[in-house]
């Protein structure tokens, strides 16, 4: 056996404890991964709309990197503060993945999709890096997606650089070190991307 495929990875199945350490719940749809020379497991198509990888939706073939695609969706939910389907939004914005494609991570327009509740109080370089990582996870061909171990390592690096680097805050010319200096006096900064992602390993 090559591993376990969760099959229904989504935000509502990720629980956070008091230290923002994530715990997975609801393993009812999980399946054992392919064995031997097999590249996939064929199953009935179940799960939640908006999270499933294209190869699974189209063929029912589950691959180890099918969960990586779902993780990419969740990353964009964290970045934007939106759900995968927003029926109360204009037609062009209802499907999360279709909407974010119009705002590439390297574009000046990118900050327009970041959760407005953060009020520009986040390191813009970290947000861009997170979006680029999400884009890799969302590659249509599962062979082009990184393994989950690589995703975790890149997440750790983004968090470390965000916490200890000199990247500018969105909407500000101040560096993160300057903001940290002020926060020691004014108290901790709430609602930042740094506080919303926790990776333990």
- The burial class, CB within 10 Å (0-12 / 13-18 / 19+), for 62 is buried
Distance CA(17)–CA(107), nearest Å, equals 35
> Per the residue annotation, which of 8, 37, 67, 135 is the catalytic one?
8
Q: Which strand (E) or helix (H) includes residue 15?
A: strand 14-16
- With b for 16 or more beta-carbon neighbours within 10 A and e for fewer, the 43-53 pattern comes to eeeebbeebbb
- The burial class, CB within 10 Å (0-12 / 13-18 / 19+), for 196 is middle
Q: Is 142 a catalytic site residue?
A: no
Distance CA(2)–CA(34), nearest Å, equals 6
Longest dimension (CA), the chain: 59
Active site residues: 8
């Amino acid at each position: 056996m090559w591993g376990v495929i969760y099959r229904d990875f989504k935000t509502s199945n990720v629980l956070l404890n008091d230290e923002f350490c994530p715990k997975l719940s609801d393993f009812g749809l999980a399946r054992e991964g392919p064995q031997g020379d097999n590249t996939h497991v064929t199953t009935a198509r179940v799960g939640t709309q908006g999270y499933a990888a294209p190869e699974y939706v189209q063929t029912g073939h589950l691959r180890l990197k099918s969960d990586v695609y779902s993780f990419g969706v969740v990353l964009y939910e964290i970045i934007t503060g939106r759900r995968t389907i927003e029926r109360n939004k204009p037609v062009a914005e209802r499907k999360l993945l279709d909407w974010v494609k119009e705002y590439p991570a390297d574009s000046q327009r990118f900050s327009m999709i970041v959760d407005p509740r953060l009020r520009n109080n986040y390191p813009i370089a970290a947000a861009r890096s997170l979006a680029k990582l999400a884009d890799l996870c969302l590659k249509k061909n599962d062979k082009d997606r990184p393994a989950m171990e690589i995703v975790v390592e890149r997440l750790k690096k983004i968090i470390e650089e965000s916490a200890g680097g000199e990247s500018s805050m969105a909407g500000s010319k101040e560096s993160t070190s300057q903001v940290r200096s002020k926060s020691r006096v004014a108290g901790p900064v709430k609602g930042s991307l740094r506080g919303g992602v926790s990776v333990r390993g």
